[in-house]
Structure 1
């Protein structure tokens, strides 16, 4: 290698070479034909520059101690930003081999990633998702670029012909640097996969009998190259058994394990080349690392040796000298921000400087290159960048324009602002002036037609026209009225007729409106969607714009770009604020203001502190204001769409269901409005039935826009009205519709209004949300919401109102599920009296109230009255709703329970099955009402001492509730208590105790100590302990349980006395009279207080 003291521009480097360890960097540098002087870079990486076979190569190594996929991704992202002309990359270094019968891999061999039928050559084995059947890996990555696969094929052919130069490359380096000699690496030993290393830095203490026997290789085959799949992960593979297990799970054929490729290929498609330094087992030895790194680097050099270089160093130097001479002649300082005409014929009319801090967007730029510069550019004469305002469409267009001029200096580039007709025409006149077309200086000339004719003439060379901010279709389709505007006769046609379709020209459109863009490019295949940046791109943009160099600020910067939802204009705006305000010059300082409230966020994003010279002067620099332009345009062209957007902003930003948005709209009007919003990229339409997603900042901007127009309060009231009308029936359980609606209902609860109707609507929503929470077992929060709703309803409507009484009935139901039985009973009696007074005595609401009352009284052991209420409920609901209605079936289930409890044994198993079948048909097998009816069947079995049937039923119930509602849902806890009791009844005391003890901890934590189900679990646990003669342990539980039973059920209730009496009898039978006396004293003391 020679050191050539030349300094090439970044654009000269077309190959990226990434390595992870210092020994890999040493090997890479040793392979260079020439080493170049470094260029200035401010991306945090340190580069070694040079050339191999005419290819200019940028080599980068990961920071010391930072290995793995994430550091590799960061380094690669920075490299691509700095060296934007890189055509492809090589990931070169060491790895752990996977020896097998199919692949005789030895230390010092080389493994090269090659695609197969199931992967692109690299799989990320520690990336995947959890499924009911286990962990499914989803980490397959893209294949290497085709140009590198062609080079691999060429090398494989050369190997077959005996023409490979890999060994020669390695020998030249080892002759120059003895560290790379094979004999320094030591002995190649492979141990049995099941035999682990016994300790120490070498394998001298390991059992030689455990070594695998392998045939020796000839000297000419010391280094073999293997082609196939490489497994990449974030941890070192340290054990051979795990190595083989993972390799088998990945479908076999894995040749190597390593730690960086997946991170690199997620942002930088490349060829992975690994020298084998160990066998991915516990017998690791660093002695082989240097030789293995050299072998991999030798293969990388061979890749570059078979690929022709596209741009030689001498050509680049000559081009730089020519540029400097031209600049000197016209009196300019050296600057890389000004594009000079390469010839007298063509030039660029780009009104903005090139952004040397441009970040990312590689895929979009590559797509543009493919369409405009590919094999059939005539088929892609027009392409549109479509996306939300502020997402960076114009900046991508600027960057592409400069890149195109770099590649094709003879191509004209014209920038036409298309936000209004006047600017469009002025841009055409500027083109005429630059090209010096006839009539360019005559205001009366038909300048549009003149420019159009010139553009169509292929003799005038190739050109690119950027049609920027083409957001309003009317600008292009409306003819000019000569009475309102003086215009030449030839220029009166719609502007779209002056956009040529010729084989020598391309048009790149930027637009917020997909509909307008589609009309201009004529095919959806020519639309390129521009989305917000990736996290790494957004982070890098903020670092560049706000001059963030400190690693300590990176975490705050990551939070900030997440808050700004990776929107480029918002990030740029935040960076400008930080730069202009010394007191808020860090991401944390900005976040402290931004996170205070929505009002602070809107204030920051509505006001730009400085003007961005790289944006058109008519385009706002504040992201909210640029969106206001879209809002106003939609309001003018489709008021229904503006109204829909306003309503959407009142709900949660994700998965807004269509039923919230079209209560009073016909389908055609609704779909037209939805299309308009989607075309402007303000919402995304997901799935069927349709759901709508909003960008969070767009939602915030919409609210700010409504506030500025004094419409925010009215829209909040409308959202409350819409939600109240839908939520009452929908938020009854956790069905799909309820889950979708719930976050939106929660959001509307934030809207507090003094308007009476709005208060009632909000209270109704609160009651509905409380039902949803109650169904999910979140009783405390449900109770608070419902209690507040009752207060509002009572204050606005009065107590004797149906809405108020229904809300009170719901509160009584929540109190019942919370175990507050006496409060629930008192409240429900009040509800029934109220319904009677307002003439609802024969209504379904009254009969539902009877059913709730019956359930409460059954729990408080008032059996006679409970039975009477439940019979009335069954007869009333069957008469008004029918037997097969879910409310009737549920009440019939309660009736069977009370009749069984009272010893009326005419109840049969078939009756329970009939109710279960009806509820399953009406609600599904996983609904809590269906599960409760199955629980009553399990109790029926237990009461008849049919313990095996009871055990099976409870186990089925637990499986269903855990799957559908979670392991800590109250219904799961209740079923677990009952199962533990049934196990104990069958003599399975230890198993029953274990289950009850685990469940006691959960019920105490979730339902609290005085909940009836916690108390039931406590006495069942005590009973299991007594059955095992662990009476002292039982006495550790019973005193507190008896106290709580009396507090919950009242001193007059017989249930606490019944439980206490059972244990007193058991203790006396064991001659434990002292324990029996203690329990009786506790009961008497509690009853007397």
Structure 2
């Protein structure tokens, strides 16, 4: 069988040269060889990796080294267990050779590895063949001379020079190494040139060195040349002449010509590898790059090698898993999570990972504290220069900046401008698009001259200082079409620290003006939110809060409004806090801008449930503005509107309604019925009416607001869409389920289209749609929507946001009836705990969450606990909103059921009777809540054996159910089956 003559060689990439030599020796003796580079992903159990290895063809030959066992990285304890459990029971499948003298796991003894170290190729081959039971008879001369295989790894090529020592901590880069190898091997004769291109510190030299050690056994000549300057390149290349045995004189030009001719002809060696390290100026040396049967590997920051018959291979920063593995080797005391955290802070740049992890491993500083140090800028005291990366990052970039100043000084000006944007992707097009009058002279020249601009950008690109990002992928002129540059965080810091004070003052003002000019000044327009999303990260770095320019301060206000409407609450609060601190110092405590800033800041705080804080802030603003400007001032009215919202959040609904109605009157008198501010005030009146349970009034106010907004704004303006959601909610709360679902379905489609699926307004609309489905009996659609809305809100707004708590309340109620009761209980308990932290004791939302939890307890059999909690909730809700509020009536429906459950039918009947009467009076006889109360009353009369009266009440209620909701509606069917009704508390938006 062919399998018997097959050997699969399993090897670490670090030991590829050994695998190639071993495979060649076996193939010469007629065996079929399969090469399998060993990988051991940390997320896959090691035993599973070994079992997968057993699926390979034929016998498995492991090339044992410390590298083989460190991949993952794995502990020796893991290896010992895996070798005993997977390899030991099946020894015939495995064989091994050892190519290391370092310690290996003790259980590796089961492999009985043949030691190939510290010996010549003949003895090594004999031991290899003996371990695999392959006859070691001499091969015929024709077979021995038929081809030249890979060199024995322990033997140096005939010519070897200048190669740096191997980095024993080299990590990852497998695909890059393989890509470089295949590009060189598949190149036509004379075209085997590959340029490894990337920014400083990305590890180009390390990658080239690893290529030499990994594939060097396939060459007879390996020569490493420092190619930074043409003069040094000529000298180093000329020094190869005597190594090749070329008869030349001492003059460098003569030696250089002889070397190039020898390499071109492949005489005396055709298998040669020339590494040109640091070749950042292709124009200086491209004409001296040898051609011929060999290969040239170039490391460069300059991508223009592609114009000189070179295949370009970009060397990016590490993949995150590579960063973590490298840090763990450099700093073994760090955990995977800490290594990931450090890699995130350093943006996976290998040189920085090496130097910072090395320093950190020798200190007892935590990763958090260390990152805080780095945030202040890289310092020589917090990096450790290793032999593998000998040039400290800061030093390397200082050298490069000096070189840029000498060649194209405008490129340094552009780079310094970039430091007043946030690191990463920098929208330099904003500099081009801003007005160019009154610019500093040195910047004006750069921005007004397209040729100079492109020259500066190209110079930065040539040295890989920046990477150009363009949305116009069809343009041939990359520099002209580029919209943003990518600048690494640490380069950003170094350039910023290296800047003269005069340049700092001029350049920061230029960037501030560029950001202000980019402000579209319509933060409520969703179509413009991407513009604000691009601007916001740069506010901090341009230090806009310390500017007194009115346009820049207006930009801050607009960014805060954008953050509020788009749901970026946490970032908006942080900006608002910083702005208040800066502007109070800059402008004074009572400057008009402070009150405007306070309004925007309070809106954001209120959105995360900080009602106590916002009430204090807004009340102070209201009192100051009323005293300073009078009660009819628009700024005062706006602050008072914020105070009314705070009162709603605190559960003080009567106060909120009184204030909201007075504000609506004032706006109408000042601005008229159709001004958007008047309509906003009208909207807030309706929101307060909903919280008071006055649903019919709320519906009429929301209808008028919706129609007016459609006429004044547009059909798809966010506020118009929000009015539609409010109108659909009112319809549902009134029991008009079909009408509500029709309006809400259309509204959600448009919310998603205009605002996106994750916007807070969209989530509110989808949540109401979930309830519409639920009330119509479509439990499957409702369940999917409830779960999805909660997941999105937790992810976008956070688990403690008021909206998230609303959605968690609904999800808990739904899965209590149609899902996992244990999950419902956990979610209900969590929601109550979070409400208790956010809101004061006695708040109606706390009482409502508890009455919902009482139903969970009922469902799991904890009757007494459920009864006690239900009674407490009824008492608290009555105190909070009064006995006539629909929430109180709902609590009473549940309390009567729990009284009946614990054996108190008289008290239950008394409560259900009064509840049905009040509900009829407040909501009308056919409202769903009233119908539930009437069914509950009939059930309690039946418990008291008053069957005649119970039957009469039940039939009347069923007739009203049929007339109102239809004979097949879920509520009608449930009532007909005499299921005891219950009520779920649903918090409303404040």
Of 595, 602, 609 in structure 1, the residue corresponding to residue 378 of structure 2 is: 602
User: Is the contact between residue 760 and residue 793 of structure 1 (CA under 8 Å) also seen in structure 2?
Assistant: no
The DSSP-based 3-state class of the residue aligned with 1:598 is helix
CA deviation string 1:452-487 (max 9, x = no partner): 5873476886687654433246x63xxxxxxxxxxx
Of 509, 512, 520 in structure 1, the residue corresponding to residue 301 of structure 2 is: 512
The residue number in structure 2 matching 1:621 is: 391
Cα deviation, residue 996, structure 1: 5.4
Of 503, 508, 511 in structure 1, the residue corresponding to residue 292 of structure 2 is: 503
The DSSP-based 3-state class of the residue aligned with 2:18 is coil
- In 2, Cα distance between the equivalents of 1:281 and 1:437? 62
- Classify 1:793/1:608 alpha carbon distance in 2 versus 1 (closer, same or farther; 3 Å): closer
| Residues 1:1017 and 2:846 aligned together | no
The DSSP-based 3-state class of the residue aligned with 1:509 is strand
CA deviation string 1:28-87 (max 9, x = no partner): xxxxxxxxxxxxxxxxxxxxxxxxxxxxxxx9xxxxxxxxxxxx99xx57x74xxx8524
If the length of structure 1 is used for normalisation, what is the TM-score?
0.53
Mapping 1:892-907, distance limit 5 Å: 892-898=724-730, 901=733
The DSSP-based 3-state class of the residue aligned with 1:384 is strand
Mapping 1:46-61, distance limit 5 Å: none
- Classify 1:356/1:289 alpha carbon distance in 2 versus 1 (closer, same or farther; 3 Å): closer
The residue number in structure 2 matching 1:139 is: none
- In 1, Cα distance between the equivalents of 2:242 and 2:92? 64
The residue number in structure 1 matching 2:497 is: 704
User: Is the contact between residue 866 and residue 898 of structure 2 (CA under 8 Å) also seen in structure 1?
Assistant: no
Mapping 1:810-889, distance limit 5 Å: 815=611, 819-822=649-652, 825=656, 843-844=675-676, 846-861=678-693, 866=698, 870-871=702-703, 873-889=705-721
Cα deviation, residue 891, structure 1: 0.5
The residue number in structure 1 matching 2:260 is: 455
Cα deviation, residue 877, structure 1: 1.7
The residue number in structure 1 matching 2:829 is: 1001
- Classify 1:433/1:1030 alpha carbon distance in 2 versus 1 (closer, same or farther; 3 Å): closer
| Residues 1:745 and 2:745 aligned together | no
The residue number in structure 2 matching 1:234 is: 45
- In 2, Cα distance between the equivalents of 1:694 and 1:627? 13
The residue number in structure 2 matching 1:418 is: 228
Cα deviation, residue 792, structure 1: 7.0
- In 2, Cα distance between the equivalents of 1:560 and 1:994? 35
The residue number in structure 1 matching 2:309 is: 522
- Classify 1:428/1:1067 alpha carbon distance in 2 versus 1 (closer, same or farther; 3 Å): closer
- In 1, Cα distance between the equivalents of 2:732 and 2:179? 73
The residue number in structure 2 matching 1:86 is: 18
Of 346, 349, 355 in structure 1, the residue corresponding to residue 165 of structure 2 is: 355
User: Is the contact between residue 557 and residue 587 of structure 1 (CA under 8 Å) also seen in structure 2?
Assistant: no
| Residues 1:301 and 2:132 aligned together | yes
CA deviation string 1:433-465 (max 9, x = no partner): 99896793xxxxxx7699458734768866876
- Classify 1:300/1:921 alpha carbon distance in 2 versus 1 (closer, same or farther; 3 Å): same
CA deviation string 1:646-699 (max 9, x = no partner): 566667666778988876499999999877655544455689688876544334
The DSSP-based 3-state class of the residue aligned with 1:625 is helix
The DSSP-based 3-state class of the residue aligned with 1:379 is coil
- In 2, Cα distance between the equivalents of 1:725 and 1:764? 12
- Classify 1:406/1:643 alpha carbon distance in 2 versus 1 (closer, same or farther; 3 Å): same
- In 2, Cα distance between the equivalents of 1:752 and 1:831? 34
The DSSP-based 3-state class of the residue aligned with 1:597 is helix
RMSD (CA atoms): 6.9
Of 380, 390, 393 in structure 1, the residue corresponding to residue 191 of structure 2 is: 380
Which stretch shifts more, 951-960 or 730-739? 730-739
CA deviation string 1:704-732 (max 9, x = no partner): 34588863995499379739966987899
- Classify 1:791/1:356 alpha carbon distance in 2 versus 1 (closer, same or farther; 3 Å): closer
* Bigger relative contact order (CA 8 A; separation at least 6): 1
User: Is the contact between residue 655 and residue 692 of structure 1 (CA under 8 Å) also seen in structure 2?
Assistant: yes
User: Is the contact between residue 828 and residue 853 of structure 1 (CA under 8 Å) also seen in structure 2?
Assistant: yes
- In 1, Cα distance between the equivalents of 2:464 and 2:84? 52
The DSSP-based 3-state class of the residue aligned with 1:756 is coil
- In 2, Cα distance between the equivalents of 1:150 and 1:1033? 79
- Classify 1:853/1:422 alpha carbon distance in 2 versus 1 (closer, same or farther; 3 Å): farther
Cα deviation, residue 623, structure 1: 1.3
- Classify 1:449/1:736 alpha carbon distance in 2 versus 1 (closer, same or farther; 3 Å): farther
CA deviation string 1:303-328 (max 9, x = no partner): 6959989999xx999x99xxxxxxxx
- In 2, Cα distance between the equivalents of 1:1020 and 1:597? 49
User: Is the contact between residue 598 and residue 700 of structure 1 (CA under 8 Å) also seen in structure 2?
Assistant: no
Of 779, 783, 799 in structure 2, the residue corresponding to residue 955 of structure 1 is: 783
The residue number in structure 2 matching 1:586 is: 362
Of 589, 592, 608 in structure 2, the residue corresponding to residue 798 of structure 1 is: 592
The DSSP-based 3-state class of the residue aligned with 1:711 is helix
The residue number in structure 2 matching 1:581 is: none
Cα deviation, residue 1001, structure 1: 1.6
The residue number in structure 1 matching 2:985 is: none
Cα deviation, residue 881, structure 1: 1.6
- In 2, Cα distance between the equivalents of 1:642 and 1:906? 66
Cα deviation, residue 541, structure 1: 10
User: Is the contact between residue 231 and residue 254 of structure 1 (CA under 8 Å) also seen in structure 2?
Assistant: no
Cα deviation, residue 299, structure 1: 8.9
- In 2, Cα distance between the equivalents of 1:713 and 1:680? 26
- In 2, Cα distance between the equivalents of 1:279 and 1:465? 43
The residue number in structure 1 matching 2:865 is: 1033
CA deviation string 1:403-449 (max 9, x = no partner): 9999877x595835434x66567768988999896793xxxxxx769
The residue number in structure 1 matching 2:548 is: 756
- In 2, Cα distance between the equivalents of 1:415 and 1:937? 69
CA deviation string 1:107-136 (max 9, x = no partner): xxxxxxxxxxxxxxxxxxxxxxxxxxxxxx
User: Is the contact between residue 180 and residue 313 of structure 2 (CA under 8 Å) also seen in structure 1?
Assistant: no
CA deviation string 1:556-606 (max 9, x = no partner): 99689846666554466569x96xxxxx98254697984442366511279
- Classify 1:649/1:568 alpha carbon distance in 2 versus 1 (closer, same or farther; 3 Å): same
- Classify 1:930/1:387 alpha carbon distance in 2 versus 1 (closer, same or farther; 3 Å): closer
User: Is the contact between residue 167 and residue 210 of structure 2 (CA under 8 Å) also seen in structure 1?
Assistant: no
Gaps of at least 5 residues in structure 2 are 1-8, 73-80, 96-109, 114-128, 435-446, 473-482, 612-644, 915-990
The DSSP-based 3-state class of the residue aligned with 2:831 is helix
Gaps of at least 5 residues in structure 1 are 1-58, 60-71, 91-144, 158-224, 270-277, 321-335, 441-446, 477-494, 579-583, 1081-1089
- In 1, Cα distance between the equivalents of 2:462 and 2:322? 27
- Classify 1:237/1:369 alpha carbon distance in 2 versus 1 (closer, same or farther; 3 Å): closer
Higher helix share: 2
- Classify 1:999/1:426 alpha carbon distance in 2 versus 1 (closer, same or farther; 3 Å): closer
Mapping 1:147-158, distance limit 5 Å: 147=24, 150=27, 154-155=30-31
Of 470, 475, 483 in structure 1, the residue corresponding to residue 279 of structure 2 is: 470
The residue number in structure 1 matching 2:973 is: none
- Classify 1:389/1:1021 alpha carbon distance in 2 versus 1 (closer, same or farther; 3 Å): closer
- Classify 1:257/1:878 alpha carbon distance in 2 versus 1 (closer, same or farther; 3 Å): farther
User: Is the contact between residue 935 and residue 975 of structure 1 (CA under 8 Å) also seen in structure 2?
Assistant: yes
- In 1, Cα distance between the equivalents of 2:353 and 2:528? 39
Instruction: State how many pairs are aligned.
Output: 772
Which stretch shifts more, 252-261 or 452-461? 252-261
- Classify 1:756/1:514 alpha carbon distance in 2 versus 1 (closer, same or farther; 3 Å): same
User: Is the contact between residue 197 and residue 300 of structure 2 (CA under 8 Å) also seen in structure 1?
Assistant: yes
